[in-house]
Amino acid sequence: MPARPTRINMHCIVLNPRSSAVHEANQKSAFVIMPFSPTASEKNWTEIFDTVFKPAIEECGYACERAAPSTGSLIISIVESLRRADLVIADVTDRNPNVFYELGVRHSLRRGTIIVSQDGEHVPSDLRGYWYLTYGLRPRQVLQFKSAIRKIIAAIRKAPNRSDNPVADYLDREQINISHYVQRDNVKKLGALLTELSGNRLAIAQQLSSGEAQPLSHGCIQLLVQTLYVDIGPELLKTCYELEYRLGLIIKGGANSGILEQALERTELLFERISDIRDRIGRGEFAEPAVASTMVWSPAAPLRSTAIQECTMCSGSGQIECPTCRARVITEETDSLLTSVDRHCIRCNGSGMTSCPSCSSRESTDDRLDLTSAEARVR
């Protein structure tokens, strides 16, 4: 039986995982899992850490640590290091149970783990398909280990999300299943939105032609703008907000033909664009914007630039009411409903009086109301 190689005795400084002196700014960290006490084939694990692992890992640009024996709660410190470390080296030589426990903890917390052993027989067969190296203690074997681990670390840096343990394999499969479920659920929601848009398109067209109110729905479009379960982009989101606002006015009976035409135009646009997005999601070709879409509401300039005053009784409600047919019109459509001279209601050619819906005061047509609107800006 060949004699074991003579080792050079070197002083090993065991670093506390919490010590800030170990890390330079932005330097990656490595943590070594290995026994403290002598095992069947090895007596001095600290010497192996100092002469084999630490130099090889530091040459790759990592600050290298191992757990320091203490009388306190050692396992808490170890788990923290296992979570924090960018790289973990687990020496399973002699199959030490503590090492395997810590290896399992690391597998459940983070990727970036390399299993090493002095003898390949010590590595369970289930783990040999992942990052795995054998090492020796002779100078030539130490050099070979340095070269091999440098290549593995480079591969880990190139593909940090690559699975390197059975737990990661399982989580990857679960993530695929969850993503598939969420995608399928979003396709269903968009399908319901398309059904709502098609029904509203028909109802609005009938209301425009007959002048009679038709049943409308806007629950699906409200769900989209309130939860943004699919980020359709800022411009299309703005269109959704505008349509939702107009549908609300139509449902409350406060819309004229101009509002109906605008709602119909936006409904047709959304139906076409949402259909395309749903199809692309189904094919796996849709990508949401890198930055989440956000809508910011702000006051817009008055529609009329001159000779505008507020209602003297209540500072203006933003609506005009015809005293004959009781039709209420939102302010941004006022010009299409009232003539520029006598301000009669086009719908019934009424008395020409304006009524404030908040305080019910009537004013003559010579007075002007301050009609304001709001517009959505994309940020």
Q: Output the pLDDT for position 178.
A: 66
| Conformational region of residue 347, where left means phi above 0, alpha means psi within -120 to 50, and beta covers everything else | alpha
pLDDT value for 206: 94
Fold of the CATH domain 28-164: Rossmann fold (3.40.50)
Residues with pLDDT less than 70, the chain: 1-25, 40-42, 68-74, 175-178, 300-379
Domain spans in the chain, listed from the N-terminal domain onward: 28-164, 170-293, 319-378
Cα separation, 204 vs 190, whole angstroms: 21
User: How does pLDDT run across 104-113, given as a tens digit for each residue?
Assistant: 999 888 889 9
pTM above 0.85, yes or no: no
Tracing tokens 């907000």 back to the chain, one arrives at 241
Per-residue model confidence (pLDDT) at position 54: 93
Task: Look up residue 334 and give its amino acid.
Answer: T
What is the per-residue pLDDT across 277-301, written as a single tens digit (0 to 9) for each? 999 888 878 888 888 888 887 776 6
| Structure confidence at residue 374 (pLDDT) | 34
Helix (H) / strand (E) element for 229: namely none
Residues of the chain by 3-state class (helix, strand, coil), percent to 5: 45, 10, 40
